[in-house]
Chain A
Amino acid sequence: MNDPINVLTLFLFNIVLVNIPLLYGTVGEIVVEKSGSLDLGVEGTMAVGAIFGYLAGCAANSIAVGLLVSFLTAGLCGLLFAALTVSLQANQNVTGLTITTFGLGLYFFVGKGMGERWPAMTSASSLVNGYAALEIPGLSKLPVIGKALFSHNFLVYLGIGIAVLVWLYLNCTKTGLRLRAVGENPGAADSVGVNTLLYKYAHLILGSGIMGLGGFYMALYMSGSFEGSNCWINGYGWIAIALVIFANWSPVLAILGTLVFGFFNTLQIYAGPLAGAFPGALGWLNAIPPQLYKALPFLITAIVLVASSVRKRESSGQPAALGLNYFREER
């Protein structure tokens, strides 16, 4: 256990394992933000997807049902956001925050209401098997890297796959191009015949659904044990909003960003073991307060935000119409 290589391997392994839900949340939020909506309800959306996905997955003893239900219930949160902000012109910040309040309220209400009837994950073999590690033939035999990167559960690979697919979709397809146009300037997109209403609705639902999958992952990672005081999502939704900015609205950069944020996130737990394993090179890690690691993702993002506003980069991926409602009659 105290073998330095072993500690390092476990550290790298956990960076991926623990933080992939962030990637789901971030990619979902990128899809949403690219359509011009700033949805601050990620935390609530993920919580809703997590609890309903988990309960449905357990009831049906099927990981596919769990994934589907988490996607759909989280998608409903997106639909609600779309109905309120796109059709009914409600303020996006307020609506998003309300979705978080509501989603977390619902999460605890359902969880506590289940009481004794709460299903244990061990009773749903499909979930346990679905979450088991898949060793990728050949690659997983590599030293250190093999365990760290190539022997994870399939949801890890799915998350990375979704991120790459969304990147391709945004940058290499006609629909993706139109979507970006809607986010940049809905009036212009509308005038060339793009159905802005449909685009906003569809991508809010799709993006929120992806966040829900991240919630489901979190449920499995926590082995489905419900606690009355702490939500499974535990602030990941907020970090995801930060990560969108850090990744400059690119799903592929989000993979990298997840690893960077994940690095600090995991260092919180692994600082001690790492310092023990490499007393010479990493002994100083023990001197750093763990709260700094928790604050770092937000601190870094704040700096990125300020720096990018100072430099006014042309290459910023932030959609120009982000957070602004589009009122057609005012074109």
Chain B
Amino acid sequence: MKSRQPLFHVVKRDQAGPGRQLAAYVAAVVLALAVGAVLLLIQGVEPFTFYRQLITMGIPGSRYPWRSVENFIKLFVPLLITSLALALAFKMRFWNIGGEGQFIMGAFWAGFAAMQLGETLPRPLMVLVMALCGALGGGLYGVFVAALKVKWGTNETLLTLMLNYVALYFLQYFAETKTDWNFFLDPGSARPKFAKFPANAQMITISIGPFNLNLSLIIAVGLCVLLYIYLNYTKRGYEIAVVGDSPNTARYAGMKVGRIVIRTIFLSAALIGLAGAFQASSAGVLSTSITNDVGWTGVVVAWLAKLNTVGIVAASLLITVLQYGCQTASTTYPSIDANFANLLQGVILFIVLAADFFTRFKLVPRGRREAVK
């Protein structure tokens, strides 16, 4: 055999320091903003003014600054909960990319409850019922894939992907079909249009001076803490990590892998459904674009944060600032809108994905052999 060795070979690194990772993130964001600046210049937009407006999100100088914060929270909460939930599944190497579908199902069943019971139940109970319906609707939509995966090894990536669209067109059917039995629609409108929920089905807000704090934010923060404890300090959370690392090890250690997968995916999908229910009751009305793409963006966030609970809070804040900032800046720059946020988001993730390689592996030059583990 010829001894033609490559210039260098790749070896797995044991542990990368947190400093290295943080540096990679900062570099990714800075680089992405630089790429964005070049693109903005090509379009004839002054990047510094644009970025200033993006980061301040139009809050200073606004006549209703609190309204902006409220809207920001409405974008932030669904993304945060969805990302947390997806990370739960990804930890187990279960590729739940069905966030969109589970979110829609959550919103749909919450809307179902709102339209049926909204007039009779008092508000706190109504919001609770909607949350439960949403969680159950989303959870069942996800757990059925997990069951198929456990029983027959069905490819969950592709199946959850397909189910996203099934859910979307299911919702669209109710949005566009004007008949007597379709209680989702506004009876007063000639064209099919989702009716507003009864007042009792609107998300509870707590007034602090001029600011109305959305209750879902408090619940989302509570969920973060609970999930952090669940994943790091409980037996069940530990089982998720073991199954993710090696199902065979888990089986050998006597864990019931199938049951763990089904339980965790139900939890993951139910949380996404809950996010859908919150979104529906915060908006007070259903819509076919209710997901605002959180099912997809959540994957980006979860991955940016390396599935780490604290990281997810930071990453979803960052992404929401990008999205909400671009949205508000677009009032002054008509050619740029939330899509610019998607572009930046893509560039950030590309750089982080590339940088990951250098935290996970190292290159050893030719000739210098190290013990390969």
Contact = CB atoms under 8 A, between A and B. Distances in A.
B170 A295 contact: yes
A138 interface: no
Contacts of B344: 105
A238 interface: yes
Interface string A101-131: 1111111110011010000000000000000
B95 to A, nearest CB: 5
B296 A289 contact: no
A94 B299 contact: yes
What DSSP secondary structure best describes chain B's contact surface? helix
Interface stretch (B5-13, B53-61, B64-72): B5-13
Contacts of A100: 296
Given A94-B299, A94-B303, A109-B339, A99 B169 contact: no
Interface string A80-96: 10011001111101110
A95 B334 CA distance: 30
A100 B172 CA distance: 23
Contacts of A87: 357
Interface residues of B, number: 57
Interface range, A side: 35 or more
B211 interface: no
Contacts, number: 154
Interface in B153-196: 153-155, 157-159, 161-166, 168-170, 172-173, 176-177
Contacts of B341: 105
Interface in B303-317: 303
Interface in B281-305: 296-297, 299-300, 303
A301 interface: yes
Contacts of A323: 157
Interface stretch (A157-165, A175-183, A302-310): A302-310
B350 A302 contact: no
A298 interface: yes
B347 interface: yes
Given A109-B340, A294-B169, A295-B166, A91 B350 contact: no
Chain A contact residues, majority secondary structure: helix
A91 B170 contact: no
B3 interface: no
B354 A109 contact: no
B213 interface: no
Given A94-B300, A102-B350, A298-B165, A329 B9 contact: yes
30 contacts: A38-B157, A80-B350, A87-B357, A89-B361, A94-B299, A97-B299, A98-B350, A98-B353, A101-B297, A102-B343, A104-B342, A105-B339, A105-B340, A105-B342, A105-B345, A108-B337, A109-B43, A112-B337, A289-B173, A291-B170, A292-B169, A294-B165, A298-B163, A298-B166, A305-B155, A305-B159, A306-B148, A306-B152, A309-B155, A329-B9
Given A93-B97, A98-B346, 9 more contacts: A40-B97, A88-B354, A94-B303, A101-B297, A101-B349, A102-B345, A301-B162, A309-B148, A309-B152
Interface of A: 38, 40, 80, 83-84, 87-91, 93-95, 97-109, 112-113, 115, 235, 238, 241-242, 245, 289, 291-292, 294-295, 298-299, 301-302, 305-306, 309-310, 312, 323, 327-329
